Amino acid sequence: MERKNAWLSYTKEQEAELEKISLSYRSFLDKGKTERECVREIILQAEAAGYQPLQKVLASGSAIKAGDRLYDVCMNKTVALYYIGEEDITNGMNILCAHIDSPRLDIKQNPLYEEADLAYLDTHYYGGVKKYQWVTLPLAIHGVVAKKDGEVVDICIGEDESDPILYITDLLIHLSAKQLQKKASEAIEGEKLDILIGSRPLADEEDEKKKEAVKENILQILQEKYGIEEEDFLSAELEVVPAGKARECGLDRSMIASYGQDDRVCAYTSLLAMLELKGKLQRTACCILVDKEEIGSVGATGMQSRFFENSVAELLEGMGQYSGLAHRRTLKNSCMLSSDVSAGFDPAFAEVFEKKNAAFLGRGVVLNKFTGARGKSGSNDANAEYIARVRKAFDDDQVAFQTAELGKVDEGGGGTIAYIAALYGMEVIDSGVAVLSMHAPWEVTSKADVYEALRAYRAFLKYMTH
């Protein structure tokens, strides 16, 4: 049952569309390197496509009806979009779900220190990272500093060509005899991932022996440029990510290399399928793009929070249809594609894959019946009947798709958000795009798979019925 390479199936028109999508996807990656930046960009694009804030529509008292396009935001980090269909919403919605947080290094709350005439920011990594991959790279800081007076200062350093970049050092090879004997997980320890941010002492004529003059100089720059002082780090969310734009990869330009493709590749293509919808829709379409997947979907902005459930309750209220039972039915009767990246088969590490059940770059969107680890622990398990309906929808639109497991049995594993949505009793299957070097500072996807993901989401919104 080997699946064909999608590149071989394209018409000239499809090739042109594929390149167009790749370009807009790369632009999305560049604009959204944090969950907050993604939400900002998603709202911009949604509003341009006629979406209105759900809370504003509710406050205005106008009834929500078929054809309405709405969005709801949670703490600037998670967003839900709705396109209301003609059919009774308690028959359920077709939901596209993906996450917009990615592994990175977060700046600690008390980060700034000076040592040996060098100034550093201390970090704590977020999500699963191979720490040794994050040293000696050009890095950027993205995020916000919330001040006591209520002002929230946006920070982005290291992306503009004229910006300085940030950097984490590694030990020189000449003195690395001991380091190189260590296990890869210990060669660079978490506490060693400190960002080098300065080396020039503040000139102070009154007190030439002033201590920590390099740190003082950094503080002065922060004050001048952003109006923030050291205590403001206490209420900041600053994320350190690789600096630079998403690029085409390969001499044939068939791939995309970028930071944060897990899971913005699924988030962007889900968003695009949603924003393309036009005219009358039978079944209500929904797209949820959530935060905190990389650390277990916890917190107010993760999939485990009540945000989505509450948002659907508000939606029903706005449609004059809210009751406890109507709410439960709406969720239970929904169908979801819970999209997240899959491990792309990598010939350099073939030993961890079982080839018949691996995802290959270029062979289309991936369906995972289950995820989890060991004996499928922590997995959602999509119903066979549901998978049959999903694959019919894909086949009806000639979408290239493949099925996969995350590596060989007993090699490891991983979880997604599918099992959380499944708690409502809705049909959910994991799907997504194959990635090489998942969670590395630069990850690689195939343009064909990005395109097939979009085509799959289109088919899903079009064909799935109650």
Residues in contact with Mn ion by the rule CB under 5 A: 262-263, 340
From CA 319, how far away is CA 227, in angstroms rounded? Answer: 45
User: Shortest distance, CB of residue 42 to Mn ion, whole angstroms?
Assistant: 17
Helix/strand/coil (H/E/C) assignment for every residue in the chain? CCCCCHHHHCCHHHHHHHHHHHHHHHHHHHHCCCHHHHHHHHHHHHHHCCCEEHHHHHHHCCCCCCCCEEEEEECCCEEEEEECCCCCHHHCCEEEEEECCCCEEEEEEEEEEEECCEEEEEEEEECCCCHHHHCCCCEEEEEEEECCCCCEEEEEECCCCCCCCEECCCCCHHHCCCHHHCCHHHHCCHHHCCEEEECCCCCCCCCCCCCCHHHHHHHHHHHHHHCCCHHHHHHEEEEEEECCCCEEECCCCCEEEECCHHHHHHHHHHHHHHHHCCCCCCCCEEEEEECCHHHCCCCCCCCCCCHHHHHHHHHHHHCCCCCHHHHHHHHHCCEEEEECCEEECCHHHHHHCCHHHCECCCCCEEEECECEECCCECCCECCHHHHHHHHHHHHHCCCCEEECCCCCCCCCEECCCHHHHHHHCCEEEEEECEEECCCCCCEEEEHHHHHHHHHHHHHHHHHCCC
CB of 103 to Mn ion, least distance (A): 7
Question: Nearer Cβ to Mn ion, position 114 or 452?
Answer: 452
Token output for 413: 């594993």
Judged by CB, which is closer to Mn ion: 257, or 315? 257
Shortest Cβ 415–Mn ion spacing (Å) = 9
Q: Of the two residues 10 and 126, which places its CB atom closer to Mn ion in the complex?
A: 126
Question: Rounded to the nearest whole angstrom, what is the least distance from the CB of residue 58 to Mn ion in the complex?
Answer: 32
d(CA 82, CA 58): 14
Least spacing, CB of residue 340 vs Mn ion, in Å: 4
**Structural contact between residues 157 and 143, judged by C-beta atoms closer than 8 angstroms:** no
When the beta carbons of 237 and 262 are compared against Mn ion, the nearer one is 262
Minimal distance, residue 102 CB to Mn ion, in Å: 7
Cα gap 271→184, rounded to integer Å: 37
Written as six digits, the tokens of 436 are 């090489």
Choice between 244 and 414, CB closer to Mn ion: 414
Nearer to Mn ion, 281 or 436 (CB): 436
Q: How many CB atoms lie within 10 A of CB 135?
A: 16
Residue type, 341: V
Minimal distance in Å, beta carbon 303 to Mn ion? 11
Q: Please, which residue, 326 or 435, has the CB nearer to Mn ion?
A: 435
Please say which residue, 133 or 179, places its beta carbon nearer to Mn ion: 133
226 or 370: CB nearest Mn ion: 370
Please say which residue, 215 or 369, places its beta carbon nearer to Mn ion: 369
41 versus 263: smaller Cβ distance to Mn ion: 263
